[in-house]
Structure 1
């Protein structure tokens, strides 16, 4: 190779690492063979000889020599031996094989169905029984005298009672124009029961306590009140008033407000 070609290749491969192929060991020489004389080194060119000018023809660049492929670690290295099982792994595997399968927890017992309670029907309102009472006389003008007598035989004598007749004369009435009602029960009588008997009820005088149902909690003795279309006057019992002048005076003042006012 001449100097120009060598210089060209030196510039071409400047900075490129080159790999040196190791030489093969020399073959053993057979016994008795004569030693081969070493070749004489080629004569070095003169130092001051001018470098020949390369010709116009372009020498094709040799193909780049690819570096030999380096074998990967997986191909060159022998496979690593697998990890031997430890004593703890063997003991855990033996215990898993011997351990019994988990028993599922028993299901909670289902409570028996509770029978639905029958619907409770509302209690029917007690039917009020009519209060028994007796009547004596007629009430063309709608005046009613209420009394409560222990002995029903006393009722006819009430029409001849002096105190009652004088009271009626004071308010310009007579006994024949009113009706006497004897309530034969500790419970009061109702206006509906009186009218159901065919009585005209416009004014009522009660001689005693708890005689008319609509007036039991709304009245005071000797204080006349208006209940709907009915005027009501509560007073003491007849046998008490006729012997008590104070009560007679209270009754007379109440009668004036109710009938003569």
Structure 2
């Protein structure tokens, strides 16, 4: 069909009317589309099979590690005192043990053995020497009697045995058989007498005169013992005291040697009167 001829026909048919021809869609150029509109059209375009691409699967991730929040320590709870007459609850014992730890007790360290061996004996146990009271001097020997001196005596050869290790302590003179003399440190009466003047058996030296009649010489004793206090249980036991002393009368011999004579231990144990006399004499001598 001729478009120009058709237009001329219709113009003559519609006289005075303006006519126009609709242009063909293929001949008319499409107007310019903004870049943003084209991008939107591209995004909204139908997706073809060729355009579908398999999306990568997300990589497997490890589960998150949950760190617990630190728990603040519990304050020590003081155990309540149980009421009178009731035992403490067993439930509170474990809590008190965990809340208030007790430091371990430290045992005191003993001094080394070398230090004890090197120390003198006086540091281990102080040697006790009884103090003497003011005593009267011994009487002079009777006329015609030879009084021995502290350095010379006619009985210096008389033997004696000793028990004890304190050369400066009290000297106890006895005359006993050997077996009875060995048992003397365990004698109850003797230990009570020493306890009364604040002494024990270790503070004294026991001397046994081994002759049945003669006394022991003071000069012989001074060669081994330096003590100046003598307590004699029996008669005729010390040469310098044979003629110048009386039983239960403490005296000073030669101005420096205190001497007290008494009856035998076996007699004193069962005689209350002699015990009283001995105690009064010892009070005058030591207390």
So what's the TM-score if we normalise by structure 1? 0.49
So what's the TM-score if we normalise by structure 2? 0.45
Larger radius of gyration: 1
Higher RCO, Cα 8 Å, sep 6+: 2
